[in-house]
């Protein structure tokens, strides 16, 4: 772990008391964030002087062995239900304890935190591959996450991944999502049962939305008239985008999600899923980057 002097020089402190696992508090003149070592999970982020950008459920369970509902979970090496019974949904990275391997200052007073994970820190019942993950989290006016997956084994491996970002919005019914016009998607909402469709125009939230857009490599913007801001999600190394809001019935069915919290959140996820899965040769790597910025309205 990085020494205390380096942490202090970068404006990073470690909270070992609030939750059952260590949380990094990153504060600088440009922005602030909280990052959990459990799950390699960004819990919160805001540019300096601005309202929170990420959403966290009031019902989230902060317990080792269970996923955190909100912030930015790291889904890896699979997305959604596992192919085998008994394996955790969205992979094991988000329920494993990561290591802090580096902290450094960047231009503009931003700070970069580097976390890592390999098979030695994972539950052997879930993990039968050799790998190393690195998550680079840069905190400033912009939040940037770079997920690097290295194949350290002797066989070709197939990885799926998503930075499952939960955004805080004023009211889901009043926002508009731009950047997906004319993009095909798979609709995973129950009434559509995996149908392939094409998005026309901006996407509005007026029902359960669970869509995987692919191919989708451009930026996505979330315009919020009440908060008078636009959240912009830019990415690299990803050709699939997931948009999710559970709406009424699914919210009520999830124990770690408040019955009416769907009004205040939206997931826009940088992903490598469906037709965008990555095959990585022994000794190879794949990289996915997501950059989140906020544009205030005059």
Neighbours of 249 (CB within 10 A): 10
191: left (phi over 0), alpha (psi -120 to 50) or beta: alpha
Spatial distance between the Cα atoms of 71 and 292, rounded to a whole number of angstroms: 12
User: Which residues 6+ apart lie within 8 Å of 260 measured at CB?
Assistant: 251
Spatial distance between the Cα atoms of 247 and 208, rounded to a whole number of angstroms: 5
Q: Which of 61, 63, 94 is nearest to 256 (CA)?
A: 61
For 96-107, letters b (16+ CB in 10 Å) and e give bebebeebeeee
CA of 98: how far to CAs of 92, 152, 183, 227, in Å? 11, 17, 35, 34
User: Which residues 6+ apart lie within 8 Å of 33 measured at CB?
Assistant: 26, 42, 43, 44, 45, 46, 137, 139, 143
Q: What is the DSSP letter of 140?
A: S
Give the CB-side neighbour count of residue 234, counting CA atoms within 13 A. 7
Q: Which residues form the catalytic set?
A: 164, 269
For tokens 């149908």, the residue is 195
Burial (0-12, 13-18, 19+ Cβ within 10 Å), 82: middle
Integer-rounded Cα Rg, in Å, for the chain is: 18
Taking the mean position of all CA atoms in its chain, how far away is CA 95?
A: 13
């Amino acid at each position: 772990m990085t020494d205390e002097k380096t942490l202090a020089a970068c404006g990073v402190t470690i909270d070992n008391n609030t939750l059952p696992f260590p949380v990094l508090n990153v504060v600088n003149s440009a922005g602030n964030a909280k990052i959990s070592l459990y799950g390699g999970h960004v819990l919160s982020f805001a540019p300096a002087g601005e309202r929170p950008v990420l959403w966290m459920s009031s019902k989230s369970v902060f317990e080792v062995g269970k996923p955190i509902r909100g912030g930015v979970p790291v889904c890896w090496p699979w997305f959604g239900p596992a192919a085998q019974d008994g394996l955790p949904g969205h992979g094991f990275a988000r329920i494993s304890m990561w290591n802090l391997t580096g902290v450094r200052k960047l231009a503009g007073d931003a700070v970069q935190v580097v976390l890592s994970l390999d098979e030695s820190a994972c539950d052997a019942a879930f993990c039968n591959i050799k790998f190393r993950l690195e998550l680079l989290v840069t905190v400033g006016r912009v939040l940037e996450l770079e997920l690097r997956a290295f194949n350290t084994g002797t066989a070709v491996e197939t990885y799926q991944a998503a930075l499952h970002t939960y955004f805080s919005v004023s009211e889901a019914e009043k926002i508009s999502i731009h950047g997906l016009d004319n993009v095909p998607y798979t609709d995973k909402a129950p009434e559509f049962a995996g149908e392939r469709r094409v998005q026309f125009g901006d996407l509005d939230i007026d029902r359960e939305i669970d869509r995987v857009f692919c191919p989708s490599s451009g930026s996505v913007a979330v315009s919020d008239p009440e908060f008078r801001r636009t959240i912009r999600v830019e990415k690299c190394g990803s050709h699939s985008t997931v948009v999710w809001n559970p709406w009424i019935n699914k919210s009520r069915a999830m124990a770690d999600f408040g019955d009416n919290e769907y009004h205040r959140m939206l997931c826009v996820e940088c992903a490598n899923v469906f037709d965008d899965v990555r095959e990585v040769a022994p000794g190879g790597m794949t990289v996915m980057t997501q950059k989140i910025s906020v544009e205030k309205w005059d």
